[in-house]
Chain A
Amino acid sequence: MQEKEKQLTPDQFETVGYTMEEANKIDRPTISYWQDAWRRLRKNPVAMAALVVLIVLVILVIVGPNLRGYDYVNMNVTEKNLGSSTKYWFGTDSLGRDLFSRVWVGARASILIALVATTLKLVVGTLYGSVMAHFGGWVDELLMRVIEVINSLPSLLVTILIMMVLGNNLFALFVALSITAWCNTARQTRGMIKQLKESEYVYAAEVLGASPLHIILKHYVPNMLSILLLDASTAIPAFIFTEAGLSFLGIGLTSPEISLGVLISQGQQTMDFYPSQLFYPCAVLCIIVMAFNLLGDGLRDALDPRLRK
């Protein structure tokens, strides 16, 4: 190769043009905290599997009762206590009602109860916690004392009494379930906001002249949301259990309304003879709870900023 050819001259280069803006541009696209969380969640096969299972469950809960064409309350005593068959996938109960339809109607009620109770818990807890953190001082002290009192009351007592006062209906169940549950959320919220208020980056944002709205949206909400999401993912299965436990005491939904808890407590009474009547609702309950738990674990990993790559 010749020397000459190696020489570079300016005319061999062409200005493609650049601006200051382009110079400062970062090639890797900025992704928000949420996009990043979602990206990491997607990479977690277990969490994704849980998510898929949950979606399938939700679909089943909506359409499941109609799949087999049997009404969940229509009895047919000539076909009672049957095992699984192609006619009745999960068998029938003591009045000859299709268990497959009943399980999904029950699961629908259980999930609905858990979702509403969780929402109540989160809303009340967050508001209460924010008030405590915002005002501080004697308000904080007083409100904290209220939480302490509620926590020292046996929750079973409160739940039973509320159900007795308000009667056995859905509304009473929501109140009874969430009345003691919000305390924990309130405490967490209070701790979080207090910590954030003192943190350097909020201070920095304030100094830089960020508006309160900006601080709330960009700093408080994301931090709070991750906590609340985790709270919800543990609260939902917990509510499903509590409701199931109450069914065993004869408290909660009354016939002909059913939840998984009602089905399990009825199945338990005949488990020596027709174990399938206990097994199917229990299995569905396990799957729901398992899915929420695994998704919760995945969310925790995905939302933890310290794990961000």
Chain B
Amino acid sequence: MKLKRRSVLGMMGAACLSAILAGCGGSDDSSSAAVSSAAQSGTDTQVLNIRTTAFGNNYDVQDMGWRWMMAACYSGLYRNVADDTGEHFVLDGAESVDVSDDGTVYTFHLQPNAKWSDGQPVTAHDYEYGWKRLVNPKYLYDYASFIFNVVGAEEYYNGTGTADGVMAVAVDDYTFQVTLKIADPTFEAKLVATPLYPTREDLAETAGDQWGKDWTLCVYNGPFCMSELVEDNKMVWTKNTNYWNADETHLETVNWYLVGEDSTAATMFDNGELDVLQTSGDYSRKYQSEAEAGQVQMITADYPGTVCLAFDHKNGGKSGLMGNLKIRKALSYSINREEMIDAVYGRYEPAYGFISPAITFDGKSYRSQVEEPMLADYNKYAGDYDALKSLFQEGLSELGMSTDLSSVTVTYLSYGSTVEESSFREYLQQTWQQNLGIQVELNTVGDYSLFTAERDAGNFDLFSAGWYSDYNDPLDYLNTFYTGLYVSVSGGYSNSEYDALIDSLAGENDNAKRLSIYTQCEQILFDDCATIPLYYSTKEYFLQNWVKDFRWSSFGASQEFYITYIEGRGF
């Protein structure tokens, strides 16, 4: 069942005045009484109850520690929203954008009526401060490299330049101008990321060390304001009547409940205590069938994440075999992805490429334009385990080793203890042992820091890896295999041809050429069998039938409620 897109334009008017006066709702009744313009039936309260499994505890937009909360409570130049027609990249804080002919100067004209929840206008100075804060070497933000292409930014971050040298400046109160070193078609895609959101200098500087740690010091310029937080329990958002587009926002309150167990969440969803649910495993299957019967709504969306297994490209692994292409291929092709996904997860899409279908290029899904590079080769072997065994043996003899498969031991390093995590690693062990006749040792550790310790000690042949993209361009995926950049994803892969192709993208503005380079790059990865892709991540939302106009997003807030409303709940 899919949601119907519903026009929400043209509802500005009567509510404007009160909105400006009221600011953030909180316990203030006047705001909730004032804005009830949309088409809702009389008895429904505009309250949405939703589940989460963790609170982020980080309110510093530049840190991007808590993306889904920030993207809904704050607002940047653009907003990324998805509905059943796909991802939409819409102007938010910016009213219009001018790009110079050479593609290096971006001039953003800001919404003149955008305000922070304390009533102050959102100005270009707030953007300038936010951007310069991001590359301030004092703060060491993880995402500083996002704007290294801005003139003076990398120099400032590395200590060779000054803040004044960073060419992201407020021309006047409502004009923000950014100058790039070289034209970059992926630049706009990054603008939805919260590190490029505005920050109030006066508040951030006053708060000092406490900035981003204490939510009560924050002001918000997004559709909602945080109004209550009890750690490990509950978070409340109230409508921000100062949001420039507050007239389209119908929900008065969003209650986030921290529910750790899927079983508890299911009880609450069945009870109507939750309006929106994300869940996993058998619960997911249960609501899938309820959705088919029309009892609930279901939304499935691609999410820009690919889960894969990384080889030890540096040392060839504990077994010393991972340097051989045929052995890598045998390992990769002997996993029946459809069967594995069905047995272990009950959702997700099998992956025969690296770049997720959620990534769009030129307005269309990248995967709809480029066929999955592994598919053809995989299909040659699919299910033919004797052929795969001899492929593995060929690899062994190339290495000058005994071709006795049963004496081969491959070590898989992973962490985590949920049923899905442990089922997956047991599945993997069994599938390789049964299909290839090799021995598989599981090196399972308790948590991420132990995982990195084992990884750095080289106690593995393969480890669980994956990539969740930060912005909507294939480049963010492909960068991970650039020599030395993201060893935790690539396993230390290095290929000078590949690196040269990536380098050649700098300054390349022709989309057709970019697409061809992207395709070549991904093909190299699979000719080399550089990684074992397993599945593309997806998001699955179950909604009560009374929830209308729910939106989601791959690169902004996972769930977008800025136009959502409740109709027909009756309470």
A interface with B by C-beta (< 8 Å): 73-75, 77, 80, 94-96, 163-164, 167-168, 249-251, 254-256, 265-266, 269-274
Is B142 positioned at the interface, with any CB of A under 8 Å from its CB? no
Contact status B426-A167, CB under 8 Å? no
Q: Which residues of chain B in 334-355 are interfacial with respect to chain A, using CB atoms and an 8 Å cutoff?
A: 339, 342-344
- A163 to B, closest residue via Cβ: B446
Report which residue of B262, B430, B445 has the largest number of chain A beta carbons within 10 angstroms of its beta carbon: B430
Contact between B426 and A95, CB atoms less than 8 A apart: yes
Which B263-318 residues sit within 8 Å CB-CB of chain A? 263, 266, 281-283, 286
A75-B426, A96-B343, A269-B281 are known contacts; what are 4 more A-B pairs with Cβ within 8 Å? A74-B434, A255-B429, A266-B419, A269-B418
Q: List the 9 shortest-distance A-B pairs measured between CB atoms, nearest first.
A: A250-B417, A254-B444, A77-B343, A269-B419, A273-B282, A255-B422, A75-B430, A255-B426, A266-B419
CB pair B446–A95 under 8 Å, yes or no, is no
Contacts of A164 in B (CB 8 A): 446-447, 450
The answer to whether residues A73 and B426 also contact, given A95-B343, A168-B446 and a CB cut-off of 8 A, is: yes
Contact B418 A255, beta carbon cutoff 8 Å: no
A80 to B419, CA, bound (A): 14
Q: B416 an interface residue at 8 Å Cβ cutoff?
A: yes
Q: Determine whether the beta carbon of B430 is less than 8 Å from that of A73.
A: yes
Query: What is the minimal beta-carbon distance from B150 to any residue of chain A, in angstroms?
Result: 42
CB < 8 Å neighbour of B430 from A95, A168, A271: A95
A272 contacts across to B, CB distance below 8 A: 263, 266, 282-283
Residue among A80, A163, A269, A270 with max Cβ neighbours from chain B (10 Å)? A269
Residue contact B446 to A250, C-beta cutoff 8 Å = yes
| Residue contact A77 to B282, C-beta cutoff 8 Å | no
Is B328 part of the contact surface with A, judged by Cβ < 8 Å?
Answer: no
A95-B423, A269-B418 known; A74 and B445 CB under 8 Å?
Answer: no
Q: Which of chain B's residues have a CB closer than 8 A to the CB of A251?
A: 446
Contact string, B412-448, partner A, CB cutoff 8 A, digits 1/0? 0000111100110111011000100000001011110
The total number of A-B Cβ pairs within 8 Å is 67
Least CB separation from A277: chain B residue: B419
Measured in the bound complex, the distance between the Cα atoms of B286 and A146 in whole Å is 54
As a 0/1 sequence over residues 47 to 70 of chain B, the CB contacts with chain A under 8 angstroms (1 = contact) are 000000000000000000000000
Could you give 19 example pairs across A and B, Cβ below 8 Å?
A77-B339, A77-B342, A95-B343, A95-B344, A95-B423, A95-B426, A95-B427, A95-B430, A167-B445, A167-B450, A168-B444, A250-B416, A255-B425, A255-B442, A266-B422, A269-B262, A270-B419, A272-B283, A274-B282
CA distance A254 to B417 in the complex (A): 9
A265 CA to B445 CA in the complex, in Å? 17
| Most-contacted residue by chain A among B283, B343, B450 (CB, 10 A) | B343
B232 CB to nearest chain A CB (Å) = 16
Residue contact A94 to B342, C-beta cutoff 8 Å: no
B343 partner residues in chain A, CB cutoff 8 A: 75, 77, 80, 94-96
Q: Mark B531-546, 1 if CB is under 8 A from A, else 0.
A: 0000000000000000
For residue B248, give the distance in angstroms from its CB to the closest CB of chain A.
39
Q: Which residues of B contact A75 (CB under 8 A)?
A: 343, 426-427, 430
- Chain B residues near A80 (CB, 8 Å)? 343
Q: Which residues of A contact B419 (CB under 8 A)?
A: 94, 266, 269-270
B262: nearest chain-A partner, CB-CB: A269
Q: How far is the CA of A265 from the CA of B419 in the complex (A)?
A: 8
A167 to B453, CA, bound (A): 11
A33 to B506, CA, bound (A): 90
Instruction: For A93, give the chain B residue with the smallest CB separation.
Output: B423
